Structure 1
């Protein structure tokens, strides 16, 4: 059975990476989600895709230049589906407290060695505090982040985010001790899928928004799909 992950909550229905978006995902009975993390200036894990604030809040500057107390007051509705009330940038801690997901894919973007280390240690500390170590997989396309996970937080499950085939995604995932391979759907051939699953990898395919593609990938036997429309996916391939 193919599992469903809500992409940034329910990105196609609500402002992405906001509490409203994750609650919308859960309202469809979809109990798995994918989200993006950046560290604030004071070391808090903030749920936002871009390093810059511009696209979703209209504000200048980077997440890393602001303290979390400021960031949680910024409305992140810009550029998304229309929404009736402000949707502040959330702390990851807030989502852990208010959203009962069965599994979380936490994507960390590229980072310096020092920042990667600070980020993975902060994730482990928060996951341990909320007793979620077995419900979290930290994913990244950054070798620096994957190395930090290996070196500093080996107890955390980790996954490779693969968008291009020029480096063999399976080889890279195996090298970094990954449990999960988050594949761009264009890379998901039946042959690559079978090879990955034989290596013991959970294959999660993104971003899958068309019903015909959802059905095709489910027929291939992918372990999970990541979608902007978890409600649509749940009616297309079943709630999992």
Structure 2
């Protein structure tokens, strides 16, 4: 059975990476999600995709230049589907408290060695505090992040985000002891899928929004699909 992950919550239906988006995802009965993390200036994990604020909030500057309390006051509705009420940038701790997902893919973008280590430590501590260590996989396309996970918290499940085929994603995933391979759908051939699964990897394909593509990838045997439209995916795969 192919599982469904809501991409940044339900990015096609509600402002991405906001509480409203994750609640929309859960409203469709989809209890797996993917989200993005950046550290605030004072070291809190904030749920936002870009390192800068402009696209989703209209504010200038980088996430890392603002404290968490300030970031949590910014409305992140810009550039997404229309939404009637303000949608603040959430702290990851808020989502852990308010959203009952059975599995979380937490993506960390590229980072310096020091920043990667700080981010990994913050995730490990928060997951432990909420009793969710077994229900998270930290994913990244960054060697520094995967290396930090391997070195500091090898007990946390990790996943490689593969967007380009210039390096063999299977080889890289194995090198960093990954359990999950988050594969861009354009890289997902039946052969690569079979090889990855034979190597013991859960293959999560992104971002899959067209019903015909959802069905095709499910027929290939993809372990899970990451989609902006979790409700559509439920309806499509149920047929």
TM-score using structure 1 length: 0.99
Q: Which residue does the alignment assign to 2:17?
A: 17
Q: Which residue does the alignment assign to 2:151?
A: 151
Task: Give ranges in structure 1 of 5+ residues lacking alignment.
Answer: none
What's the CA shift string for 1:207-239, capped at 9, x where partnerless?
000000000000000000000000000001139
* SS of aligned partner of 1:36: strand
Q: Which residue does the alignment assign to 1:111?
A: 111
Is 1:138 aligned with 2:138? yes
Matches within 5 A, 1:1-240: 1-238=1-238
Instruction: Work out the number of aligned pairs and report it.
Output: 239
Instruction: Quote the Cα distance in structure 1 between the aligned partners of 2:67 and 2:165.
Output: 37
1:145 shift after superposition:
0.4
Task: Give ranges in structure 2 of 5+ residues lacking alignment.
Answer: none
1:5 shift after superposition:
0.1
TM-score using structure 2 length: 0.99
Instruction: Quote the Cα distance in structure 2 between the aligned partners of 1:121 and 1:216.
Output: 38
* SS of aligned partner of 1:49: coil
Instruction: Quote the Cα distance in structure 1 between the aligned partners of 2:238 and 2:25.
Output: 14
Q: CA RMSD in A?
A: 0.8
Instruction: Quote the Cα distance in structure 1 between the aligned partners of 2:64 and 2:153.
Output: 22
What's the CA shift string for 1:103-145, capped at 9, x where partnerless?
0000000000000000001000000000001100000000000
* SS of aligned partner of 1:82: coil
What's the CA shift string for 1:177-210, capped at 9, x where partnerless?
0000000000000000000000000000000000
Instruction: Quote the Cα distance in structure 1 between the aligned partners of 2:220 and 2:98.
Output: 34
Q: Please identify runs of 4+ aligned residues in structure 1 that moved more than 4 A.
A: none
